[in-house]
Chains A and B, each alone.
Chain A
């Protein structure tokens, strides 16, 4: 029962919203209180019995599994912060009830999928989250948001049907409808590769793997700030969790590990390159998400490769990475709204800027922060790789840390440039609390992680050498960022490869649609047998209209009748004789 309460508590707030007086209350307190039961479960639920609900969906089973608890923790923390932020950030928004509705629906989906351990309920929560998030993406109703929503919904649909197919096949792979029973059977299964490929692509769209990421830099910034924070910090992780449920770490083919690692790395670098020339700070953050998810994908790839001994360690590190990225990205997004309401040259302006720089440095892996622990784990993973890959990836790792610094410097710079000169009233109370909360958690995440997350200490030794390795990519990144802003590239606006590709595609689709509209298929009567017209033509036929009369007249003559009678008699005699 505790599982049901934790997952469905956001939906409990929907019925009161039918009555207008309650809408304000739900908006003010409901948005951030809704994930509270789930947070309690994530913190204290280490020995709650698994929830089995045979009547719900197709035999639902809800429990933490191997990774659910970490994901539930990220999800609840981030949604709580976003809910609190939203309740003051959007307080004057005319459509705030609609926002609450979609916010709560999406939240329910996101909470549910972290603890759903069977295929049907996972898919249900995943779909609920994906479709309800459309309402968040287009909330502002601007042409930009609508276009982003269109791209988002189209790609999500394709993702959904790919996942559905993967689930259809997966459910029949033997072992029943739970991930625990299904996933280990997949690698040896006849259609295993197909299932894994479908799951890879389907979840890849959510996780923003390169090629599948096209919607992400459009949709994440288009939503209102608190929604962007959960999109980029929490929901994007659903793709990662999905992969973890399908790809059982011990048994999948090597090929998958290499694919994950390579695509992840390309995504990490591509995100930096594409994000750098964006103007909108939120878009830069979205590209940073593409880049960071790329790094997570790469780390997962390390764990999937065979011959890697320290799988447990890498997986723990991946969980910490997801947590750190969630908190940091959330803090960065929420920080935008606050900086835009703070005077640039004032003391509070500087404090706010520091509050943006800190999470950026954590993401870049500054020593003595959780980010460095994550980098340490990835380095550890690289060291365990086969000879061929090890050298390449360890260089690339430092390179990506530099890229992260570069990209986030650009972000801080763009935010700084956008901060107002004149005196502003600063962020509202709820916004400040939410933001400060996330920053505090990010600061304290290191001890927290060691207490709560499954097993294994994070390897964190190596002294000065390690610290130097953490610092030089950041220093170099900042230096490059300064060069970049001095150069003329910074002032030029480029659409980038993504924008170019999408525009070409949209043009092609539009012309296809025009042709389609002109095709005979659009004709209302197309494709059916017009029985009425046929029969009409038959009945109105001159032969058919006159010949019955003619036949009848012929029958009036005696000799015709006589001849017919004789033939009839003969025929009968013949029949009798034959039979």
Chain B
């Protein structure tokens, strides 16, 4: 079972995806059943793995050789477990959302096929046990998300897809160069908590520095580090479930997760700090955090504003990796989860607004709270969490990041977080004020006919409302019960404890 379980988790979505490609367009009920079945199997598998690993210390490992001395390796450690449980659970919810969102639209087989493959890729990214395996799934992810971004097929979507592909493929080439270079110099190695490279002899510092830069550039495109973030706001043209998945789980997260892997498990935080690699990256991260927030402030379109907010928030995760204090590691890890559940809620709500009320711009949102109180209440929870207002999850991340900065003697972290929180408030609070307190700007009654009306309690079909409700409640609960042993924070502390040490 230790061999098969990771494979089952990986294949549950791969097989679903391949079967769905074969299905004719009109078999929507069978397709939904398959999708949900695959997602359930994956969630159950991840749960089993988590139970085995945490309660019984079982090592789940799949290894076979690919030639040239390279191994294909899937290995479950705590870090991969955190990411894979995030992606499997959110995939389940997003699939449900997508079923409702795309109901009646064309090309659904194609969409759901690639949707499943996309999650397969992000599962692979999570479970990869060495750099080569990671790279394979990382590139796979690029290729299978392209059809999702251009799904609508409009000229704008194609343009966005082209931008995305250029960025991602170029970055992939740079990443490939770095991975190969590193393997040539050091020979094959696996991810080791605390870093693999400092144990390898005869590596020159200069090589390692250049390779690090290349790795970060390669991963930085997906994790939207400034100035490589250009594709992300453009890609918001994709359907809402796709943007939700891109921003919360799949692409952006894979990039941030990769940066974490490189810093924690390839170089090792201490070793990277000794080489002087973290300070330049920290500068990039700070610029990204502030720049993303400022740009978000300038946007008029809701989804673009959310996209720029992602640019800023994803860098919090990277910030956790580059700041020295052990509490910052915890903060970064926990933000990996927190940002996911909060941002996916925001995009779910944005999707509901655009689909049922035709709202795309922020100035159309006046008084929408009266029309869709439940949706906007969930939106408010997530937005307040993004600002860092307790008790929503975002506050817990910021608390740990800031304290990590103080611990490591890098007090600028506090200043950056303060400025960023103020900017977050500046671009989220006006939305909240407008939707709750301003009189309605447009006649919502007329627009509701787009997709038929729903009962008073379900402002949208339950397939859309239920996932939104779930993720919003997760964001709230993750903050309120942060002290619980198995909350995201508790797990992040466990992960950090198994790593660089320093956390008692």
Contact = CB atoms under 8 A, between A and B. Distances in A.
B402 A168 contact: yes
B298 A522 contact: yes
B484 interface: yes
B421 interface: yes
B230 A529 contact: yes
Contacts of A153: 429
B398 A164 contact: yes
Interface in B396-451: 396, 398-399, 402-403, 406-407, 414, 418, 421-422, 425, 429, 436-437
Interface string B328-347: 00000000000000000000
Nearest to A139: B437
Nearest to B486: A55
Contacts of B388: 164
A89 interface: no
Interface string B478-491: 01111111010100
B298 A521 contact: yes
Which residue, of B162, B402, B436, has the highest number of chain A Cβ atoms within 10 A? B402
Given A124-B391, A532-B166, A55 B398 contact: no
Interface in A142-200: 153, 157-158, 160-161, 164-165, 167-169, 171-172, 191
B167 A531 contact: yes
Contact of B483 (A58, A135, A535): A58
A534 to B, nearest CB: 9
Contact residue range for chain A?
35 or more
B461 to A, nearest CB: 20
A153 B422 CA distance: 11
Contacts of A124: 390-391, 395
Contacts of A138: 437
Nearest to B295: A527
Contacts of A191: 406
B228 interface: yes
Contacts of B481: 55-56
Given A123-B390, A527-B295, A164 B163 contact: no
A33 to B, nearest CB: 24
B423 to A, nearest CB: 11
Contacts of A528: 226-230
A131 B384 contact: yes
A60 B390 CA distance: 13
Contact of A535 (B166, B228, B421, B482): B166
Contact of B390 (A57, A169, A521, A526): A57
Contacts of B421: 161, 164
B483 A57 contact: yes
Interface string B486-498: 0101000000000
Given A54-B483, A57-B483, A58-B483, A531 B429 contact: no
A531 B170 contact: yes
A165 B418 contact: yes
A171 B403 contact: yes
B291 A527 contact: yes
Nearest to B421: A161
Contacts of A127: 389-390
Q: Which secondary structure dominates chain A's binding surface?
A: helix
Contacts of A55: 481, 483-485, 487
Contact of A57 (B384, B391, B398, B437): B391
B81 to A, nearest CB: 21
B247 to A, nearest CB: 17
A499 interface: no
A131 B403 CA distance: 24
Contacts of A168: 399, 402-403, 406, 414
Given A57-B390, A120-B390, A164-B388, A527 B227 contact: yes
A522 B390 CA distance: 31
A141 interface: yes
A153 B384 CA distance: 14
B324 to A, nearest CB: 14
A149 to B, nearest CB: 8
Contacts of A535: 166, 170
Nearest to A534: B166
A574 to B, nearest CB: 24
B406 A169 contact: yes
A511 B421 CA distance: 24
Interface string B460-482: 00000000000000000001111
Interface string B130-163: 0000000000000000000000000000000011
Contacts of B226: 527-528
A161 B390 contact: no
A461 interface: no
Contact of A56 (B166, B228, B483): B483
A111 to B, nearest CB: 15
Given A141-B437, A161-B421, A164-B399, 8 more contacts: A55-B487, A56-B481, A120-B399, A128-B391, A164-B388, A171-B403, A172-B403, A531-B230
14 contacts: A57-B479, A58-B399, A120-B390, A124-B390, A124-B395, A138-B437, A164-B398, A169-B406, A521-B294, A527-B226, A527-B291, A528-B229, A532-B163, A535-B170
